[in-house]
Amino acid sequence: MTLRMHSLGRNYRALVIGSSGALGQAFCQHLRSDPNCALINELGRSTAIPLDLEEPNSISAAAASLSSSAPYQLILLATGLLHREGVEPEKSLKTINPDALQSVFQVNALGPAIVMREFLPLLDTHGAMAVMSARVGSISDNRLGGWYAYRASKAALNMLIKTAAIEHGRRHPNARLLSLHPGTVQSDLSHPFRGARAARPAKQAAAELLSVIDHSSPNDSGGLFAYDGKRIEW
């Protein structure tokens, strides 16, 4: 089934940051099949124009390189760090590692903040920018504890998005800046964990998230929404 975005108009331009990940690739696949999408630019650490969330200068350079193709009606940030060599989700306070904590915050909060600073000016005044967050970033929804760095970094990301949405909305009231929870997706991020057995295919998750974006309104800007369209409280 071909996915078609309606809220962005005909011949809309899209930008996918983090296009090499499972979700990023799935976003690109759907957008390429959308007859309303006229252009897709992809950014990541290994793309022709490199962007690395741990290298802030690369974010600024990438935005400058793509400014000539702006405005974009859709910008997606499909990145996140839960684990890698030297970084594991903490089960208790005593396992918190300062270096790992800093790495997770850099990818999940600080890097995205710079992305918003550099790329929101490239967003169409009626466009949508969506950033992948997580339900575990909701403080009120935290009932299990653990995963200190990931939870805290996503909570920080949600606040950054909310604050940026307020500021951006003053000048561009018809734009949307959304924080999205993809759920558990079949990817390298979820693979080592128990919930991976119930993970959804990336292509399904991407289609659901694009539908959430398409059905959103400027009144939703700054909010955190799950893949089923339901709002998640902070």
Residue 93 sits in a domain whose CATH number is 3.40.50.720
Asked whether residue 234 is assigned to any structural domain, the reply reads: no
Q: Is the pLDDT of residue 119 over 80?
A: yes
pLDDT tens digits, 206-233: 999 999 999 999 999 999 999 999 999 9
- Contact (Cβ atoms closer than 8 angstroms) between residue 30 and residue 3: yes
> What's the chain's length in residues?
234
- Domain residue limits at 151: 12-226
Counting the structural domains of the chain, the total is: 1
Asked whether residue 153 is assigned to any structural domain, the reply reads: yes
- Contact (Cβ atoms closer than 8 angstroms) between residue 129 and residue 178: yes
The neighbour count for residue 104, using CB atoms within 10 Å, is 28
Cis status of the peptide bond prior to 71, with omega within 30 of 0: yes
pLDDT tens digits, 165-180: 999 999 999 999 999 9
* Residue at token pair 């690739």: 25
Asked whether residue 150 is assigned to any structural domain, the reply reads: yes
Asked whether residue 2 is assigned to any structural domain, the reply reads: no
Asked whether residue 233 is assigned to any structural domain, the reply reads: no
pLDDT tens digits, 127-139: 999 999 999 999 9
Say how far apart CA 200 and CA 115 lie, in whole Å.
27
Asked whether residue 232 is assigned to any structural domain, the reply reads: no
Asked whether residue 64 is assigned to any structural domain, the reply reads: yes
Q: What is the structure's pLDDT at 47?
A: 96
Angle at 166 between CA 165 and CA 171, to 5 degrees: 90
Q: What is the structure's pLDDT at 94?
A: 95
Asked whether residue 222 is assigned to any structural domain, the reply reads: yes
pLDDT tens digits, 182-196: 999 986 655 555 555
